[in-house]
Amino acid sequence: MLRRSMVKLLLGLLLLGNGANIVIFLTGGLTKGKPPIIDQAEKNFTDAYADPVPQALILTAIVISFALNSFAVILLKKVYETTGSDDLDSLNIQDLDI
Amino acid sequence: MITNFILAPILAHMITAILLVFFWRNIGAQRVISVTGNLIAFLLCLRLFHATGEFGYLIVQVGSWEAPFGIIFVSDTLSSIMVVLTAIVSLTVGIYSTVALNPSRIKYGYFVFFHFLVMGLLGAFLTGDIFNLYVWFEVVIISSFILLTLGGKKMQMEGAIKYVAMNMLASIIFLTAIGILYGITGTLNMADLAVKIQGIQNHGLISVTALLFFAGFGIKSAIFPLYFWLPSSYHTPPSAIAAIFGGLLTKMGIYAMIRCFTLIFQPDEFIKNVILIIAILTLVTGALGAINKRSIRRLISYLIVCHIGYLMAGIGLHTEIAFVGVIFYLIHDVIVKSNLLMMTGIIQKIRNTIDMTRLGGLYKDYPKTSVVMAVAMFSLVGIPPLSGFWPKIQFFGESLKTGHYVLLAAIIFASFITLFVMAKMWSEVFWKESPKPLTEEIDRFAGLSFIRKFALIAPVTALTFVSLYIGLNAESIYDLSHKTAEELMNPDRYINAVLNGNYGK
């Protein structure tokens, strides 16, 4: 993300976003083959089970990050069109004047 | 009390936004619908505020999934104050933007995203679920991205890229923090989190999560090392958009931070000190940044950063009186900042520039408008009877009492710089002779019809009167802030209301 190229910036953001999703996935506690369904004979969970909430959270987060990232791609393309440059440092001209 | 009414203001803005989509190209209809929708939402917000004052906590459990399992919306005093402030700003800025904005911007859906933005803000202030808060944050930032880039000028694009990158980063940090918090507690309901977190032994992990939240909200509210996106993007969009951003978006971060550090985490000495140091640095760097700016909108951008420092200082001191100051300052700041940014738009209409060296003689040409603007400017500084004065006393007193002398010095320094730049702005823009001869073409304000002038001036005047009211009727606002601070310092009541159903006052 600290690269000067805007495309690299976008790639950095994408990676970070996916990393955050995987963190949520891990916090749910990975349990193999234990669906969160109560057995007919039982009233409560008696065994460890896979928590379904993190998956719902990730799904929401993926949808949101999809929207944000597609916006960012379009924005970068538009910035490239209007300024003719992929270099973030060249965007700072107007910051110099007070 | 359990009531679905909490959702009414949110729905009002959502329905308005959806209705507006059907009138995509019809500018006249869009203006009418937007103002009507804003008015209805404004009345609903006032009603919500009164109901919260009357019944204590208002709660709705979506789909009747009982807390802590379902998503809940809670309206306590802090939430209802934020809702009313949002309503005031959105109504006035909505009216202002019917005339201030270019028809082509309205044609490309300005009002649609304006209402989605306000809807997101209201949702963020009312939700009682941390993941739901994240979703509302995203609603707000995606709308703000669109509003910021609407029009597609080169300058806007340059500002937008910093804004987009920093806000996406903030969201990712926030999301990671939620993930870790869910991992250690197994819940997302804010009241339930507060209960569960006390039973966790691993204090190190909790501190790290708290700091992650702090960083995430800190980027959004533009605190010291993370504020550079704000002054380089807020002066690029038209004044109406800047007004709603400057007034409300950074305050949303502050609101989330107040919630987070009073309800969920009880900050220990280390976190309090981190917040205080950052508050001092924000105050000093924001003030220094404002000194040498010539463009008045950039100047106000730096003042936004600087004044976030006051709010952070109050959160860092973490006493009841300090929170009275925070709430009072929040009420005052939202109104004044939106007002000042709208004024820069009017000044630009009159003189076609917002560069201080090229402005002048406004008082001679528009005495009444200038007086209105002067009142707002000096409210920001906090000349005694005006609104900025009262919360600052709380900050002074509290930092003196707790022995944070460096903070006291920083607060006084920032106040003086604010006074200095406002006095400079007053003399440069209003009193000084205009540096170049004025011609008819430059003044695009005088040629407007009466209704258009009214739509520009009325919101500014209204907000100035609200500022005056806050200043002159400080006692009732103080009582309100005091009540809020009491609630914040006793999170048990919130938890009790959400989890056990004790909604009383």
Residues of chain B predicted below pLDDT 50:
505
Q: What is the 3-state secondary structure (H, E, C) of B33-50?
A: HHHHHHHHHHHHHHHHHH
Q: What is the pLDDT of residues B160-200, one digit of tens each?
A: 888 998 999 999 999 999 999 988 888 889 999 998 888 88
Give the model confidence (pLDDT) of B408-463 as tens digits.
Answer: 999 999 999 999 999 988 888 888 877 766 665 667 777 788 888 888 899 999 99
pLDDT tens-place string over residues A54-85: 888 889 999 999 999 999 999 888 888 887 77
What pTM, to 2 d.p., does this model score?
Answer: 0.92
What pLDDT is recorded for position A94? 54
Domains in chain A, number: 1
Does residue A1 form part of some domain?
A: no
Establish if A41 belongs to a structural domain: no
Q: Which of B175, B180, B230 to mutate to test the interface with A (most CBs of A within 10 A)?
A: B175
Specify if A90 maps to a domain: yes
Q: Is residue A31 in some structural domain?
A: yes
CB pair distance less than 8 Å for B160 and A71: no
Of residues B173, B186, B66, B132, the one with CA closest to residue A54: B186
Q: Which of A20-29, A39-48, B258-267 has the lowest mean pLDDT?
A: A39-48
- The pLDDT-based confidence of A98 (bands split at 50, 70, 90) is very low
Q: What was the pLDDT predicted at B162?
A: 86
Domain boundaries, chain B: 4-499
Instruction: Please indicate whether, in this complex, the C-beta atoms of B168 and A1 are within 8 angstroms of each other.
Output: no
Residue B344: how many other CB atoms lie within 10 Å: 23
Total Cβ atoms within 10 A of residue B408: 19
Beta carbons within 10 angstroms of residue A25's beta carbon: 15
Structure confidence at residue B501 (pLDDT): 74
Structural domain includes residue A42: no
Closest Cβ opposite residue B165 in set A9, A24, A92: A9
Is residue A21 within 8 Å of residue A57, measured between CB atoms? no
Q: Which domain holds residue A56?
A: 6-36+49-96
| More confidently predicted of A93 and B425 | B425
The pLDDT assigned to B439 comes to 62
Q: Which of B330, B432, B250, B270 is nearest to B81 (CA)?
A: B330
Nearest Cα to A56, choosing from B234, B47, B70, B454? B70
Tell me if A25 is assigned to some domain.
yes
Any domain includes A68: yes
| Nearest Cβ partner for A94 among B158, B183, B188 | B158
- Tokens 């009491």 sit at which residue? B486
Q: Judge: B154–A82 Cβ closer than 8 Å, yes or no.
A: yes
CB pairs under 8 A between A and B: 100
**Sequence-distant contacts of B402-407: CB under 8 A, at least 24 apart:** B402/B317, B402/B319, B404/B276, B404/B317, B406/B280, B407/B276, B407/B279, B407/B280, B407/B313, B407/B316, B407/B317
